[in-house]
Structure 1
Amino acid sequence: MTPSLASTVEFIQSCETPWSRDTSPPWGIHEADPPPYNRLYGPVHGRGPVSGVLYHQHQLLAQWGEPHKADLTFSVAKTYLALLAGLAFDQGLIPNVHTPVAEQCPGIGFEGERLSRITWHHLLQQTSEWEGTCLGIPEQVDRYRWLPYQTGQADGQKGDARPLGEPGTRFEYNDVRINQLSLALLHLFKRPLPEVFEEFFRKPLGCSDAFQWVGYEQGWTDVNGQRMMSVPGGSHWGGGVSISAMDQARIGLMLMGQGQYQGQQILSKQWLEMMQQPCDIAPYYGYLIWLNKDGALFKDAPRSSWFAIGAGSSITWVDPELELVCIMRWIDADKTNDCIARVMQSLTRSG
């Protein structure tokens, strides 16, 4: 490791999240929800130290902390749902992303004049305006939710009964609607999603560290007469994905390669291109990933960079043009751009 890179790693490690390491407050995001939903429904576990992995031009340049520890990754699990949707697309289970979900997954909450117009495209861009309750939690708890990665500002109080519009008319980062997407994918595959993810992603990518994707206490559902767990697309209310930084990096290398990893096409290039298309009404967002095309997300990252971001915070930074994959776990969200800037500076010096 060059001196420049070593100092960058040291800087990243100094940017540790204020979250506790043992899940005692301050920890998590569920406490910000309106009662009685400001609680955990799924299991959680303590975190490791600031950890990460840096690949550049397919070379492992640095690793720090505990890169092989399976840690909760919160909303990076959303991006993993997008990968599963891409697998369904590649396998012909989703012939067209603009197909209404109700046509393929009847009886799970997409009925009604307005809801029946919700498509896979809407769910993947978080513009569905879906209304209902999923896994025992009403989506209203995440209405008016606003993240610092968005441009503009909130126009209401989180959890208020905002009037809903037509599908595709408003972007809203809503974890209950994400869980509804996960439920729809479960009914589409008719197999537990963690099994599908293991077979079609983790195994061919050579992921070998501990991994789990677990649900809520009330997450069991009937799929074709079989009892299956519908897993959440994050750890907002507990559960979710626990994965190592090193295995996240392997997934990132596949994404950097437009779906290809070590000569094997894991996902189609077409799907990766679809994932990176900006949402019309939220150009900083694609298919469950954050885009940086105008530099508004992280000013010191290249415009070709895109990100999977989870609370805590967990960052998967992918840049196909730069041939870069950087995983940063348990850093202070407010210092993310500072960490990115240091990585960019170290690569410039070493190059």
Structure 2
Amino acid sequence: MKLRNYPYLLVLLAIFSCSEKQTSSSASSADSATSKVYYPGKDNNWQTKKPEDVGMDATLLQQAVEWAKTQETTQIEKDFSTQKEIFGEPLGPLPTTRASTNGIIIKDGYIVAEWGDTKAADPTYSVAKSFLSTILGLTIDRGMIQSTNDPVAKYVKDGGYDMEQNSKVTWEHHARQTSEWEGEMWGKKYDFVGKEAFGRGERKPRELQEPGSFYEYNDVRINRFALSLLRLWEKPLPEVLEDEIMDPIGASETWRWVPYRNSVVEINGKQMPSVSGGTRWGGGLWISARDEARFGYLFLRNGRWKNKQLLSEKWVKEATTSRGTVGPDYGYLWWLNTEGKAWPDAPTTSYAALGAGQNTVWVDPEHDIVIVWRWHNGNPNELIKRVIAAVK
């Protein structure tokens, strides 16, 4: 090294040292900010706090809970004896009984209220759709799909998207319930015609529309979506969910995603179950309110759990953002409140996973709250406004 370059080297070293300290300081600040956020431990290792310790009025919160306890559902019988009458011939199993109305309220990550049997792993009906949406997010995050606007036929070659109508269906269409996919899945046809197959859910015949132009809540098409995701992962979706989401967030071992009796396909020479996006025809996601609260809390934290980003923040935002004028205020299989119509007394930034029964997982980023309320007969807004009123 030439001596005349030495002072210049000292300057460079000084600049590098200063920059390194600033970077280290920034990283420390980020780590510090993350460390201030509370995340529960595994399973039942979840701290509780008094409402007043997280800025809530204990009396008002208790009044909200007492009201919620009176709202037992009248839609789904405890022994599921009206299942066929309501939804049609079941394809999968159902439990012999379910829990009574129950719920849990999370504020700043802590349990501030809980009622009923929140550990009972019951069917959660269409809340499962938001879990399917999350698997789509994982698929996008890993680059297995380039864009939600891609036709599914570009990736899935099992004949389900060969006809002209179905060849236009994109991943977004499926996730927005605007696919207008035509066909049959596991013995149920897309058009919901027939009392035996669809019970009270039977619909009048109508003409198919262009994919993306018409919204219809349709479990046959959602089940096609689930099968398409299975084709991509080449691994049962319950295992994907367990490995990528449920185990990392410390969920219990009681949840199950139960397939239909006949929803089995062969992939790479192996028999694999394809799960559904609900419990309309039996099976579905059987899960506790506590585990659903963890799932809601993951979204409240924008896909992050402790020091790991399980789901990209970009996907969480996309999944919970209104996607256009076709259909209701809906994201990617998440119900939204952008227009303030779903829950008039709630922030427009709040959103929820909803299922029959009623089963509700409501997420409120503005107040840092997650509410899980199951087997209730009330309007979620009635509980939401009472809980928000308790926030000082």
Q: Same fold per TM (> 0.5)?
A: yes
SS, match of residue 10 in structure 1: helix
CA distance in 2, matches of 1:98, 1:192: 24
Q: Does 1:41 align with 2:41?
A: no
Task: Summarize deviations over 1:78-124 as a string: whole Å, max 9, x none.
Answer: 00000000011111111111111011011241112221111101100
Alignment of 1:1-351 (within 5 A): 1=50, 2-18=58-74, 19-25=76-82, 28=83, 30-32=84-86, 38-45=88-95, 46-141=97-192, 158-280=202-324, 281-332=326-377, 334-347=378-391, 351=392
Moved over 4 A (4+): none
C-alpha contact 2:193 2:205 (8 A) present in aligned 1: no
SS, match of residue 55 in structure 1: strand
C-alpha contact 1:142 1:174 (8 A) present in aligned 2: no
Report the AA paired with residue 295 of structure 1. G
CA distance in 2, matches of 1:240, 1:291: 23
C-alpha contact 2:358 2:376 (8 A) present in aligned 1: yes
Report the AA paired with residue 72 of structure 1. P
C-alpha contact 2:192 2:203 (8 A) present in aligned 1: yes
CA distance in 2, matches of 1:94, 1:257: 24
Report the AA paired with residue 332 of structure 2. Y
The answer for the alignment partner of 1:150 in structure 2 is none
How much does 1:224 deviate? Answer: 2.2
Report the AA paired with residue 89 of structure 2. R
Report the AA paired with residue 185 of structure 2. C
C-alpha contact 1:8 1:343 (8 A) present in aligned 2: yes
Q: How many residues align structurally?
A: 327
Question: What is the TM-score when the length of structure 2 is the normalising length?
Answer: 0.81
CA distance in 1, matches of 2:128, 2:202: 22
Report the AA paired with residue 323 of structure 1. D
CA distance in 2, matches of 1:115, 1:273: 28
CA distance in 2, matches of 1:226, 1:215: 16
The answer for the alignment partner of 2:27 in structure 1 is none
Report the AA paired with residue 16 of structure 1. E
CA distance in 2, matches of 1:235, 1:210: 17
How much does 1:158 deviate? Answer: 4.3
C-alpha contact 1:51 1:65 (8 A) present in aligned 2: yes
How much does 1:346 deviate? Answer: 2.0
CA distance in 2, matches of 1:131, 1:80: 23
Identity %: 39
Segments of 5+ residues of structure 2 without an aligned counterpart are: 1-49, 51-57, 195-200
How much does 1:277 deviate? Answer: 2.1
Report the AA paired with residue 247 of structure 2. K
Of structures 1 and 2, the larger Rg is shown by 2
C-alpha contact 1:209 1:243 (8 A) present in aligned 2: no
Segments of 5+ residues of structure 1 without an aligned counterpart are: 144-156
How much does 1:136 deviate? Answer: 1.4
